Structure 1
Amino acid sequence: MSVSLDDLEFVVLTADHLHYLPSFKCKNAELKGYLVENAFQDQQDRTSATRLVFYQGRLVGYFTLVTDVIKKKELDDRDGDPGFEYSTYPALKIARLATHQEFERQGIGRAMLLKIYSIWIGLTKHIGCRIITVDAKPTAVDFYKRFDFHEAIIDPRKLKDRETVPLYIDIHKELERLRTGAPLSDYDEARSP
């Protein structure tokens, strides 16, 4: 079964949603723990923003976003802008992204990425932001790579003790490449479900 993007409801986490959080089950205990124990407080402290994903009234996923930067030298030569004069690019970071274990492989993760792209487009109307980053769990790397995320170019010695893999996508270039005559405003969050 595949869940359609149109059948999903994306809502910003509020106190009214707290009773849904304990029912969320995923294979990664840290991701569930964050949602239940920290997501709302972090949002109250303005250190992150979490969106919940509902399908037929059931919590089936969530993602948390924060601001980030990525060093210009960590990008592949095909990404970024050759004339960019600063050492870092502004970025939007996917701090957490999880699907309820009963709804895995049904298109929820893809739908969440599309929603993140639409949020990014909205942000770029107000602030500079070119890249989307994520520190992916090793089990999630293939998922992100299917959507054209690349491994950041980082000295392997700095990565040896990390439990995550730093990935990024130059979303500006990706959307321009995928563009088939439709204006990017078609992806705008205000027009998305």
Structure 2
Amino acid sequence: MSVIDFDKIVVTKLSDNTIGINSFDNKNLDMIKHIKEDALRDQEKKVGTTWVWVYDNKIAVGYISLAMFSIDRKEIIKEKRSKYPYSTIPSLLIGQIATHKDYECNSIGSSMISWAFAQAKQYSEKIGCRTVALHPLQEVIPWYQEKFKFKLIKREDKQDIMYFDLLQKQS
């Protein structure tokens, strides 16, 4: 694990010439495939935008892909439904998030999630956005619950959803 100086990180929108993408490495091959093969195409099709954390103008230490989303109010637990006035809840979706394997355990993932919350709060003021949502890998559900207080929606016929209500207090 390499130690990071966060003052040397620049957040940049993914492009053909983003520094460090070709050498991005992660334990999950799907995350590597996404950043190297799928993310730019998603941007061109306007279905998601990927933001890259470039360290010291040399290496991509992480990335996060964001898109618009909505959660069906019926999926929220019954006592919470009354908090949401419409049938769907506007959300910012974290589509993909990954840290370079050599830079794990440096709070890069936490930094990217906090950045996504800040983006969602800006959107909530400008266009309406009530939650931050994601489709979690099973092994990271406890991290999202403990660190960021995300709530889990278990779904039998579809992928699970986790969400954070922007009106609740963040710890």
| Runs of 5+ consecutive residues of structure 1 not aligned to the other structure | 179-193
Quick one: percent identity of the two aligned structures? Answer: 24
Matched, 1:172 2:167: yes
- Greater shift, 2-11 or 26-35, is seen at 2-11
Tell me the TM-score normalized by structure 2. Answer: 0.87
Tell me the TM-score normalized by structure 1. Answer: 0.78
Structure with bigger RCO (C-alpha 8 Å, 6+ apart): 1
- Where do residues 4-19 of structure 1 align in structure 2 (5 Å cutoff)? 5-17=6-18
Is the 8 Å Cα contact of residues 120 and 131 (structure 2) preserved in structure 1?
A: no
Is the 8 Å Cα contact of residues 79 and 173 (structure 1) preserved in structure 2?
A: no
Cα shift readout 1:74-132 (whole Å, capped 9, x = no counterpart): 2245656x253311100110000000011111100000011111111221222111011
CA shift, 1:2, in A, is 5.8
Q: Which residue of 1 aligns with 2:47?
A: 47
Q: Which residue of 2 aligns with 1:191?
A: none
CA shift, 1:148, in A, is 0.6
Q: Which residue of 1 aligns with 2:157?
A: 158
Aligned length, in residue pairs: 168
**C-alpha separation between the residues in 1 aligned to 2:99 and 2:77?**
29
Judging by fraction of residues, say which structure has more helix: 1
Distance 1:100 1:88, change over 3 A: same
**C-alpha separation between the residues in 1 aligned to 2:105 and 2:163?**
22
Structure 1 counterpart of 2:120, which letter? W
- Where do residues 86-105 of structure 1 align in structure 2 (5 Å cutoff)? 86-105=86-105
| Runs of 5+ consecutive residues of structure 2 not aligned to the other structure | none
Q: Which residue of 1 aligns with 2:85?
A: 85
CA shift, 1:25, in A, is 0.4
Q: Which residue of 2 aligns with 1:21?
A: 21
Matched, 1:71 2:72: yes
